[in-house]
Amino acid sequence: SASPLKTSVKTTCPYCGVGCGIIATPDGDGGATVTGDAEHPANFGRVCVKGAALGETLGLSRRLLHPAVRGVRASWDRAIGEAARGLEETIRRHGPESVAFYLSGQLLTEDYYVANKLMKGFIGSANVDTNSRLCMASSVAGHKRAFGSDTVPNAYADLDLADLIVLTGSNAAWCHPVLHQRMQDARQRGARIVTIDPRRTATADDSDLHLPIAPGMDSVLFAALLVEISKSAVLAHDYMAAHTSGFEAALQRAREIAPDTETAARRCDIPLPDFRTFIDWWIATPRTITCYSQGVNQSAQGTDKVNAILNCHLATGRIGKTGSGPFSLTGQPNAMGGREVGGLANQLAAHMGFTDAEVDRVGRFWNAPRMAQREGLKAVDMFDAVGSGRIKALWIMCTNPAVSLPDADRVRRALAKLDLLIVSDANAAIDGILENAHVIMPAAAWSEKDGTVTNSERRITRQRPFRAPPGEAKPDWWMTCEVARRMGFGAAFDYAGPHEIFAEHAALSAFENNGTRDFDIGAQAGLDKQAYDAMAPFQWPMPAGAAAGAERLFADGNFFTPDRKARFIAIDAPGLKAAPSRERPLLLNTGRIRDQWHTMARTGLSQRLALHIAEPFVEIHPDDAGRYGVTDGGYASLRSDYGSVILKVVVTEGQKRGMAFAPIHWNDMTSGRARVGALAQGFYDPVSGQPEMKATPVAIEPA
Ligand code: SF4
């Protein structure tokens, strides 16, 4: 039952990567009112409609309240024992590579940290991946190729100072609403906003220029920009000579991709005058920020798209400077925190990779008996390995891959083959995975959890509880540590609370660092519970001795590559992995809507949020609606090579001809056949492993 506490608590919104600080005031009856925290630097008191409705999502009707083993309610002792015994048995019979964890950008950093530690240091496999693979893996890979580290250079405050804000592959008005308001403030004082998106979104409506780019062509646009920069006076010869390498090769490739502006504009399907205006504004505006999000990341060429953007900022030296730089907007509340602890299969903790020296360093720090020696399986490959029987035991925490991964029907079928499926989640209404779970662990949810998250500008903020978990629900870090203990690793997982996990994470970030890695929060290494509870939001890095975090990075032109120079990347020729055909003539784009979040596990509880858009839909251009015989307000069946759904039709001029758009949120449990993830193909970016979710060939017909 809910705690009777009525004291207001400063915490963080659990939705998007803006990471708004909020104040939750419990009503003493299980509910709470939520307001923006005027002192939090991410939002200064603002919240969007999702954040404002958080108090309406605290009901317990859909909660998992008790552990269960093979469908029968069980004690925690039994559930922990079954999970530990099953993992041990699988490892004994098939080796450590036969087990995997699939985590979530909704977990707190402390949950993430112990899960990674258990798998990578004690089980001895790196098969830990996360739904962040669907969110920002291409940005991570692009940053690492260019900077030698996964570093977001700027802060939100730079948006206040920019004169040109470019949003590419981002519907910030709906997906990062509070940040979008901040951009609109900048526009009020004279900054220009350009939105690059095939759809005319709410963000495009609030822009000075909208470029309705053809799908997959972002790299052509930024290659054309690089070519024009190279001919202009803003080419930063001195900066490039001192701080970068690889410009000539990158420029040569850009010239091949975009030989002239006319050709590039035609390939991008953007009117030439608008294309030229964008290039002229970008070149003429020193204080330019280029924001990019899922339209860039969720692509089979996502990493190249990121590097095409970074190339332009490096060529002009517009990086890490006041009001200018490339800016990755993360989708989830703690995708960044997961990256920091190594929550991706190709990373170790504290932004380290899998070089011998790094494996050795982390192993010594953890006193780990069995360190993973090489990268593990990324999300799509991980579920392929589940399907093929290579992975026999899987622990899914706080996410639903049977709805959100591409080719979701295949994921669902694969889960049924596992010898052991452990599911820890707060929600009892998870479409497609609970029926296959052998062990179910009820997790504490937002409002009950205690830990930290990191937002898009590298700012770490406490998420604080204001209610007790209902039933027998427990924090994710606790259940991971209990399983580790039962597997015989107790000494390394003996934490009195999340503050001790955070303190260890901070100490590891500083361990043998000496400024060689970007992520260093050594200033927090010795913190105790009191200091943790009182922790104010801060940006990393914040090494030992620093009084505050760094607002901006790379201002001095030093990067984290071995020679401290940033790398230009010669990108591959852009093109779609799967083109439209006679049988599948439309390209399906997917995304979020304003008032729902992911698979609606929380937002679906608020009636107010359902008022915005109440049922799953597909948007299509009037010409295509006529061609395929579907009508506004009617229902249509969409079919890809992988699956089919039925959605309500919305006919709109804002949709590009030859494309369709459908939101990701609904599932078969809420709305019949509505899992858009079942349509998407499993193609992924070869560098980042991030799947293509923006251009799946589909057929449409009246339902
Ligand atoms: Fe929450 Fe994002 Fe809205 Fe802020 S902008 S209140 S973090 S959903």
Average pLDDT over residues 246-261: 98
Mutate to test the pocket of ligand 1, among 20, 170, 336 (most ligand atoms within 8 A of CB): 20
Helices (H), 164-217: 172-175, 177-188, 202-205
Tokens at 12, concatenated: 């963080």
User: How many angstroms separate the CA atoms of 237 and 68, rounded?
Assistant: 64
* pLDDT of 40: 97
From the CA of 48, give the closest atom in ligand 1: 3
Q: Are residues 196 and 130 in the same domain?
A: no
User: How many angstroms separate the CA atoms of 363 and 371, rounded?
Assistant: 6
Range of the domain at 261: 137-329+563-567
Helices (H), 439-591: 476-484, 498-510, 529-533
Average pLDDT over residues 244-248: 98
Q: What average pLDDT does the structure give for the chain?
A: 94
Mutate to test the pocket of ligand 1, among 44, 175, 178 (most ligand atoms within 8 A of CB): 178
| Among 598, 600, 589, 682, CA closest to 641 | 682
Ligand 1 center–CA 451 separation, angstroms: 18
Answer yes or no: is pLDDT of 1 > 80.
Answer: no
* pLDDT of 670: 67
Q: Are residues 233 and 159 in the same domain?
A: yes
Q: Are residues 616 and 697 in the same domain?
A: yes
The answer to whether residue 239 sits within a structural domain is: yes
Number of domains in the chain: 4
Helices (H), 197-345: 202-205, 218-230, 237-243, 247-257, 261-268, 272-284, 294-297, 302-316, 335-340
Q: Are residues 111 and 183 in the same domain?
A: no
User: How many angstroms separate the CA atoms of 355 and 625, rounded?
Assistant: 53
Average pLDDT over residues 457-475: 96
Helices (H), 566-654: 607-610, 622-628
Spell out the residues 6+ positions from residue 435 whose beta carbon is closer than 8 angstroms to its own: none
Ligand 1 center–CA 393 separation, angstroms: 35
Q: Is 564 helix (H, G, I), strand (E, B) or coil?
A: coil
* pLDDT of 139: 95
Q: Are residues 118 and 259 in the same domain?
A: no
User: How many angstroms separate the CA atoms of 200 and 203, rounded?
Assistant: 8
According to the 3-state scheme, what is the secondary structure of 6-64? CCCEEEECCCCCCCCEEEEEECCCCCEEEEECCCCCCCCCCCCHHHHCHHHHCCCCCEC
User: How many angstroms separate the CA atoms of 369 and 372, rounded?
Assistant: 10
* pLDDT of 43: 97
Which residue lies with its CA nearest to atom 4 of ligand 1? 20
Q: Environment class of residue 269 by beta-carbon count within 10 Å: exposed (0-12), middle (13-18) or buried (19+)?
A: middle
Q: Is 304 helix (H, G, I), strand (E, B) or coil?
A: helix
* pLDDT of 671: 66
* Cα–Cα distance list, 573 to 24, 257, 321, 352, 526 (Å): 49, 6, 30, 30, 49
Contact 588, 696 (CB under 8 A): yes
The model's pLDDT over 541-600, given as tens digits with 9 standing for 90+, comes to: 999 999 999 999 999 999 999 999 999 999 999 989 899 999 999 999 998 888 888 888
Ligand 1 center–CA 453 separation, angstroms: 13
Residue 610 has, within 13 A of its CA and on its CB side, a CA count of 13
Number of other residues whose CB lies within 10 A of the CB of residue 196: 27
Average pLDDT over residues 676-698: 89
Number of other residues whose CB lies within 10 A of the CB of residue 322: 17
Q: Are residues 360 and 230 in the same domain?
A: no
Number of other residues whose CB lies within 10 A of the CB of residue 640: 22
Q: How far is CA 554 from the centre of its chain?
A: 23
Tokens at 307, concatenated: 């590097």
| Among 484, 450, 454, 490, CA closest to 467 | 450
* pLDDT of 404: 83
Answer yes or no: is pLDDT of 115 > 70.
Answer: yes
Answer yes or no: is pLDDT of 431 > 80.
Answer: no
From the CA of 177, give the closest atom in ligand 1: 5
Ligand 1 center–CA 52 separation, angstroms: 9
Cis check for the bond before 541: say yes or no (omega within 30 of 0).
yes
Cis check for the bond before 67: say yes or no (omega within 30 of 0).
no
Ligand 1 center–CA 388 separation, angstroms: 39
Which residue lies with its CA nearest to atom 2 of ligand 1? 16
What CATH number did the domain enclosing 320 receive? 3.40.228.10
Contact 350, 336 (CB under 8 A): no
Which residue lies with its CA nearest to atom 3 of ligand 1? 48
Tokens at 149, concatenated: 């580290």
Ligand 1 center–CA 297 separation, angstroms: 20
The answer to whether residue 538 sits within a structural domain is: no
Ligand 1 center–CA 674 separation, angstroms: 25
Spell out the residues 6+ positions from residue 316 whose beta carbon is closer than 8 angstroms to its own: 229, 234, 235, 236, 286
From the CA of 14, give the closest atom in ligand 1: 1
The model's pLDDT over 205-231, given as tens digits with 9 standing for 90+, comes to: 999 999 999 999 999 999 999 999 999
What CATH number did the domain enclosing 412 receive? 3.40.50.740
Answer yes or no: is pLDDT of 85 > 90.
Answer: yes
Ligand 1 center–CA 632 separation, angstroms: 31
pTM to 2 decimal places: 0.95
What CATH number did the domain enclosing 688 receive? 2.40.40.20
Q: Are residues 179 and 281 in the same domain?
A: yes
Helix 408-415 to helix 379-388 angle (10° resolution) is 50
Q: Are residues 262 and 409 in the same domain?
A: no
* pLDDT of 666: 82
Average pLDDT over residues 25-29: 89
Answer yes or no: is pLDDT of 339 > 90.
Answer: no
Answer yes or no: is pLDDT of 2 > 60.
Answer: no
Residues in the chain: 703
Average pLDDT over residues 251-258: 98
Confidence of residue 6 (pLDDT cuts 50, 70, 90): low
Tokens at 358, concatenated: 């790094």
From the CA of 176, give the closest atom in ligand 1: 5
Q: Are residues 310 and 444 in the same domain?
A: no
Contact 100, 127 (CB under 8 A): yes
User: How many angstroms separate the CA atoms of 589 and 662, rounded?
Assistant: 7
343 compared with 382, residue with greater pLDDT: 382
Q: How far is CA 666 from the centre of its chain?
A: 19
281-295, 499-513, 604-618, 662-676: the lowest-pLDDT one: 662-676
Residue position matching structure tokens 């505050």: 548
The answer to whether residue 549 sits within a structural domain is: no
The answer to whether residue 3 sits within a structural domain is: no
* pLDDT of 4: 46
Mutate to test the pocket of ligand 1, among 12, 18, 332 (most ligand atoms within 8 A of CB): 18
Mutate to test the pocket of ligand 1, among 12, 16, 170, 184 (most ligand atoms within 8 A of CB): 16
Ligand 1 center–CA 304 separation, angstroms: 29
Q: Are residues 415 and 398 in the same domain?
A: yes
600 compared with 130, residue with greater pLDDT: 130
Ligand 1 center–CA 423 separation, angstroms: 27
The answer to whether residue 395 sits within a structural domain is: yes
Ligand 1 center–CA 51 separation, angstroms: 5
The answer to whether residue 658 sits within a structural domain is: yes
Q: Are residues 146 and 254 in the same domain?
A: yes
Q: Are residues 183 and 285 in the same domain?
A: yes
The answer to whether residue 387 sits within a structural domain is: yes
* pLDDT of 5: 54
The answer to whether residue 508 sits within a structural domain is: no
Pocket of ligand 1 (CB under 6 A): 13, 15-16, 18-20, 43, 47-48, 50-51, 176-178
Q: Is 546 helix (H, G, I), strand (E, B) or coil?
A: coil
